[in-house]
A and B are shown apart, each in its own frame.
Chain A
Amino acid sequence: MKQFREVFMKIVFMISACASILAILLICVFLFSNGIPAIAEIGAGDFLLGTTWKPLNDIFGIFPMIIGSLYVTAGAIIVGVPIGLLCAVFMARFCPPKIYSIMKPAVDLMAGIPSIVYGFFGILVIVPLVQDLFGGSGKGLLTASVLLGIMILPTIVGVCETSLRSVPEQYYEGSLALGATHERSVFCVVLPAAKSGVLAGIILGVGRAIGETMAVIMIAGNQAVIPTGLTDGLRTMTANIVLEMGYAEGLHREALIATGVVLFVFVLIINLSFSALKGKK
């Protein structure tokens, strides 16, 4: 009896453990089986590279959205990585314990704030600011980049800090002993040693930025065209799905699901390179 219970529970644990595998498989099956036929019907080239998105006329080209997502992500990286990395350096190497006990919860809290609240903050603060400085509607690439840059900060700070801390203390001490200043030791010895972890953090930030939805919808303007300037409005793949899924039917709906598939593939590639980097370390 006892033996039976042990074996039975072991099997229960094992089945639960397979839940996440099952979830991934289901997600793949449902997305691909609903999205791929639409891509085939529209034509992969027309769908991925078409520059016109006019669902009413049955023209489905998501190239502007892909570009939009990439631009916004790049913008977020430009804004978020320098601040995030330096902040991580501060927390790992410069911060007195007292300040650390404030910084750490603050960064954790930043990660916990819902994206809709960030979006709301963006619309109340950043949009009017950009409007005043550059004119136009204030909604667009620049606004989205700044807000997303803020939103990916906690991710980058967290991963970078962990990897900076995992560098052996001897590296730092050795550098000090050779006469380098504290800053020089940190930036020229410790930081390069933590390179792969820092890169992993940036990649994770890219994943966050490209998948961000609600905040982007509120501040990016959502025009389905390729932006030509910093203040131009744009639409990301995520925004495309949320904006039109509510009323879409038939091929339009499937095209939106296919947009989700493209996004999913992007994220998978990003995740795999993240795992690969982590594995290498």
Chain B
Amino acid sequence: MDNKEKKKSSAANAGRNTESAEPMSYMNQMAEENGGGACAAAAINVLTGKDKMRSYRKHPGSFILLLLVILAAVITVAVLVFLIGYILINGIPHLSLSMFEWEYTTENVSMMPAIINTITMVAVSLVIAVPLGLFSAIYLVEYAGRGNKLVKVIRVTAETLAGIPSIVFGLFGSLMFGVSLHFGYSMLSGALTLAIMVLPTILRTSEEALKSVSDSYREGSFGLGAGRLRTVFRIVLPSAIPGILAGIILAIGRICGETAALIYTSGTVAGIPDSLLDSGRTLAIHMYALYSEGLYMEEANATAVVLLVMVILINALSAFVARRFGNKTED
């Protein structure tokens, strides 16, 4: 789906290129043609750098806007690059093998238990959230008729759910799972809370993925005598898998980075819990705990590196899955 957007955009950009040359590209052109006889090769409707420069001299306002727009883009990318660079450069020297030992002690401040807890948390949350989100999406796209009232309600609630701050989820989780259901501070409370939190993400991406499957697939399947259920599971789902997978990977990223929703649900015990009903902290909480204890700033920085690398990899994987397999189904 992401991929499709990208294609559209590049098509749009290409379209504009032929009509009014891109600011960036004519800057390049300008450099190339600096000494030459300028617009010799100008086709109809193609602006060369020189034309553009003349136009900017006439409209200084436009030039300022251009600069502002480029500046904003540069700031955005620069902040990101600076943030990643700063965390990596300051954190990597503090990484040591002792931080990856199996047991957490106050001496090694190992993050291994936290990493394992994070993986457990991701697995349990997804086991709950993926079927729910996927089935909801199937209902919305494949079963509900047009103008169905329920669909509208579900859309609004999913959107609302997506906008609720994580601390409110945390409060709710500790009230419902921790207190009312007597799970206390436990991995299970945390996973259930996170499952609700990522539900809208999975629902929305799955819905988009299912929608992008061409109707002719469904018609073909119905035409061969398959029932609705078989059509969904044998025809529609397999071709929608990449989009769904990309959404699930995004959800994983969100779970890995979540802190506020987990502090008062899964708790901050630094070891690997014996069961899901015991407390354990994920990597993000581990980092917050190290920071707030004030004694382990260097270790917190090293943890930030691991967390950041994890998130970057997850994001790259999501984009890769969407692009790679997206192309395959389109062929």
Measured CB to CB, the residues of A under 8 A from B are 2, 5-6, 9-10, 12-14, 16-21, 23-24, 26-27, 30-31, 34, 82-87, 89-92, 94-97, 99-110, 112-118, 120-121, 123-125, 150, 153, 157, 165, 169, 173, 176, 181-184, 187, 204, 207, 210-214, 218, 238, 241-242, 245-246, 257, 260, 263-264, 267-268, 270-271, 274-275
Contact = CB atoms under 8 A, between A and B. Distances in A.
B307 A117 contact: yes
Given A17-B136, A214-B260, A31 B168 contact: yes
A67 B199 CA distance: 32
Given A124-B86, A157-B76, A181 B59 contact: yes
Given A94-B23, A116-B288, A183-B62, A121 B86 contact: yes
A84 B75 CA distance: 10
Given A17-B154, A181-B59, 9 more contacts: A20-B203, A31-B172, A90-B70, A96-B22, A97-B9, A103-B73, A153-B76, A207-B165, A210-B165
7 contacts: A6-B229, A17-B144, A30-B172, A97-B10, A105-B315, A169-B12, A211-B164
Interface residues on B, range: 35 or more
Contacts of B143: 10, 13-14
Given A86-B72, A124-B90, A165-B12, A19 B136 contact: yes
B273 interface: no
B140 interface: yes
Task: List 3 A-B pairs, minimum CB-CB distance, nearest first.
Answer: A211-B165, A114-B257, A86-B72
Interface string B150-169: 10011011111101111111
Contacts of A173: 19
B260 A120 contact: no
A20 B308 contact: no
Contacts of B169: 27
Given A6-B229, A34-B175, A109-B315, A94 B66 contact: yes
A280 to B, nearest CB: 15
Contacts of B180: 30
B296 interface: no
A17 B140 contact: yes
Given A21-B154, A23-B199, A210-B165, A112 B250 contact: yes
Contacts of A19: 132, 136, 199
B134 to A, nearest CB: 8
A117 B87 contact: yes
B140 A20 contact: no
B327 interface: no
B165 A183 contact: no
A246 B185 CA distance: 11
Contact of A267 (B19, B23, B70, B163): B163
Contacts of A181: 55-56, 59, 62
B82 to A, nearest CB: 8
B311 A12 contact: no
B23 A182 contact: yes
B175 A30 contact: yes
Nearest to A154: B76
B284 A238 contact: no
B14 interface: yes
Nearest to A10: B143
A6 B228 CA distance: 7
Contact of A21 (B65, B157, B258, B307): B157
B295 to A, nearest CB: 15
A100 B25 CA distance: 13
A183 B63 CA distance: 8
Nearest to A23: B196
A120 B163 contact: no
Given A17-B154, A21-B157, A211-B165, A182 B257 contact: no
B161 A20 contact: yes
Nearest to B268: A246
A99 B172 contact: no
B299 to A, nearest CB: 12
A165 B9 contact: yes
Q: Which of B139, B156, B159 counts the most chain A CB atoms within 10 A?
A: B139
A208 to B, nearest CB: 8
B135 interface: yes
A274 B155 CA distance: 13
B138 interface: yes
B163 A99 contact: no
